Structure 1
């Protein structure tokens, strides 16, 4: 079998960092871990070609060569996902699909013409698919309620990647999350009982990346790295000596719940293991909203002090914030802005609430008749796909203002500086070289923020202060400023997209009023 594995185009979004990548001479934030893991599960005798369409497009020769096309996708990729399915079918190729989006919305792929739906987790459903192929089945949907033992998951085919194109490479330690936030689909996809790999597995994966020459960011893409705290600590205690012996070749980042602040040992182990950044879903400083969405883990301690505690230990925080929860009070955007300023968090994944299919929120809103047809692309430029309890126009305009203000260059520089000044300046000693990629990015930052913009005096003063007081954080600090370049540009796109949708909504309401009158 000749299989062509395709990863669809990722539209510009919070996570794309497109402007930052352009400045660094890179092409994509990170590769599709799921798809290259599936590649490792396919029969050894198969021939495989992998194409990340964010790096390069497949050729007509690739299409002519293959017998089978395998495509994975997330919801934000659905436009290119559908186009690829349709092209494969039109060319007479068998098309198999999988990943989070078709697992949540299988009818989308079926309507586009996909022959095989390999849903849920591949360790269980890839064998079903291969057996069906061997029996000559022309179509099939393969699902499994079973949650696989990830200690049996093979190492992803990192050798298929053009590593020079990426900012970060991804690995996975665990699947699942013990919490039950109403709006989140992770527990639907992976369950509430976190399953973890062994430390030996993880060190093998790190060694593969090391041997391939990788020396930049490694994103541990768990939805909650500390879902199983005991196993996370066991892994970290094994990782620390490996990182020390290899002179800290990677910069590590991950996602974790805010209750990380409750465990001093765990925070210290993460820092000593080389973690420098953690993404945390804070969502909102409004306690009533947190209770309403069942995110009780964020109500046990003071949110701001929890953030400060994690930052002081040496971890830069990235955070998720959402507007539009039921019974949200006016001024939520201003309150989120104030929270971000007080914590100094540089990068904030701030968006309007979206109801994801088959979540508890989706099911509740469906029963209440509040879902809106035709919406549901998840990115900052999308209006909510349900009827909120506040006027949608008021909510959206409040969000536009807040998102715009958060990513004004001067406030961004100031709070990034405060955030890093708060941090413990410890970093493991490394022999990792500063490459042309970093030099290119840092030169662009100095030019834009240190010369072109009105931030010039603030930029050089802050950079000097960081270099004098926290010299080991200079690299991380400049990368954080480089990330800001993406958001300084992206906010224009978000504002324009939302204003167009708002205009359409207002016109529709005016026409309704005219029709009634």
Structure 2
């Protein structure tokens, strides 16, 4: 079999870091770990060609060569995903698809013409698909109610990657999360019992990347790295001596729940192992909203104190925030802004709540007849999209707080000040050489571009840039790479905040930063009889 594996393009989004990639001479932030794991599950005698379209494009010769096209996608990749399915069908090629998007909404892939839907987790469903091919079946949907033992997951095909095109490499240690947040689809896709690889298995993946010549940052893509704290500590205790033996070739970033701050031993182990950053799902500082959405792990201890402890343990904090929870009080956006300023989180990801298919939130809103078709991230695959349900407060108010919050948080002087303060707040770095790493060539290019853009070209931040850089060099040179990387990422966010504002303006039919909508104006993409500022027939949420 000649299989063409293609990973669809991402649109410009919060995480695409477009301008940063450009000035650093890179193409994409992360490789598609799922795709290269699927490649490892395919028969050894198959011929494989792999393309991440965010790095380079396949050719027409590749399309002519292949017997089978294999695609994987997240929701945000929706447009290119469907275009690729449709092209394959036009060319008479068989198409197999998988990944989080088709797993959540399989009908979309079928409607575009996909022949084989290899859903859920590939360790169990790829073998089903291969058996169907052996049996000459022309189509099929392959699912599994069980969750695979990830200790049986194969070594990803890192050799297929154009590694120097990425900011980071990626590995996975665990799947699943023990918590029960109402809006989250991770527990729907991967379950609430975190399953982990064995420490030696993950070390072998690191060794493979080391042997291939990778040096620099690694993203451990687990949705909650600390979901199984016993096993993650086992892994860290084996990782630390491996890192020392290899002279700290990598630095790590991952995602975790805020209760990380409650475990001093875990913080210390992550520090010693080389973790320089963690993404936290904070969502909101409003305790009543956290109760409503069942994010109870964020209510046990003060969130600001938790962020301080994680900083002191040597880790930068990235964080997600959401507007639009049921029963949310006015000015929630302002309270998020205040929290971000208090904690100096450099890159807060502010979003509007979406009801994702099959989540507890989706099921509840469906029963309450509050879901709205035709809008929202599920329909358009866009991060800057108004909610796909009738909220309990005015859509105009939520949209204004979202755009205003994003605009203010990413005002260049505000952003650079938080980058500076966060880096100064980073605590003990154990014996690590740096907080994050770039390859020498890419690092020099980034510094040169950064000096041009922020140290010379932008008069509004020129003085601030040099003053802060000089202070970092004098007081905390070990965080220099981290600081420069954050500064460079600002070039992306200063463009992206304008795009976010434009996208919301197109949906509302007016610019939320220029005053309230006139009564005779109608929202452009929203059914005004479905989303409006009333709460008729809406059940009050129970905290």
| TM-score of the pair, normalised by structure 1 | 0.97
Whether the 8 Å contact between 1:69 and 1:96 is mirrored in structure 2 is yes
Shift of 1:26: 0.5
Whether the 8 Å contact between 1:8 and 1:73 is mirrored in structure 2 is yes
Stretch moving more, 366-375 or 174-183: 366-375
Distance between the aligned counterparts of 1:459 and 1:427, measured in 2?
Answer: 28
1:46 aligns with 2:46: yes
Superposition pairs for residues 410-449 of structure 1, below 5 Å? 410-426=413-429, 428-430=431-433, 434-449=439-454
Which one of 385, 394, 398 corresponds to residue 395 of structure 1? Answer: 398
Whether the 8 Å contact between 2:216 and 2:438 is mirrored in structure 1 is no
Deviations 1:243-268 (A, max 9, x none): 11111111210000000000001011
| TM-score of the pair, normalised by structure 2 | 0.92
Distance between the aligned counterparts of 1:478 and 1:512, measured in 2?
Answer: 46
Distance 1:433 1:223, change over 3 A: closer
Shift of 1:508: 4.7
The answer for the alignment partner of 1:77 in structure 2 is 77
State the SS of the aligned residue for 2:384: coil
Which one of 448, 473, 477 corresponds to residue 471 of structure 1? Answer: 477
Distance between the aligned counterparts of 1:356 and 1:45, measured in 2?
Answer: 39
Shift of 1:430: 4.2
Which one of 439, 455, 471 corresponds to residue 461 of structure 2? Answer: 455
Shift of 1:415: 1.4
Deviations 1:277-299 (A, max 9, x none): 00000000000000000000000
Distance 1:434 1:394, change over 3 A: same
Shift of 1:434: 4.7
Shift of 1:452: 2.3
Distance between the aligned counterparts of 2:48 and 2:128, measured in 1?
Answer: 19
Deviations 1:165-201 (A, max 9, x none): 1111110000000001000000110000000001101
Shift of 1:215: 1.0
1:497 aligns with 2:503: yes
Distance between the aligned counterparts of 2:504 and 2:411, measured in 1?
Answer: 18
Distance 1:56 1:327, change over 3 A: same
State the SS of the aligned residue for 1:36: helix
State the SS of the aligned residue for 1:345: coil
Distance between the aligned counterparts of 1:361 and 1:354, measured in 2?
Answer: 9
The answer for the alignment partner of 1:332 in structure 2 is 332
Whether the 8 Å contact between 1:285 and 1:303 is mirrored in structure 2 is yes
Distance 1:434 1:36, change over 3 A: closer
Which one of 486, 490, 498 corresponds to residue 492 of structure 2? Answer: 486
State the SS of the aligned residue for 1:507: coil
Whether the 8 Å contact between 1:185 and 1:359 is mirrored in structure 2 is yes
Structure 1 unaligned residues grouped into runs of 5+: none
Shift of 1:231: 0.4
Distance between the aligned counterparts of 1:429 and 1:508, measured in 2?
Answer: 53
Distance 1:434 1:149, change over 3 A: closer
Whether the 8 Å contact between 1:425 and 1:472 is mirrored in structure 2 is no
Whether the 8 Å contact between 1:14 and 1:379 is mirrored in structure 2 is no
Whether the 8 Å contact between 1:247 and 1:428 is mirrored in structure 2 is no
Stretch moving more, 474-483 or 88-97: 474-483
Superposition pairs for residues 89-168 of structure 1, below 5 Å? 89-168=89-168
Distance between the aligned counterparts of 1:320 and 1:512, measured in 2?
Answer: 29
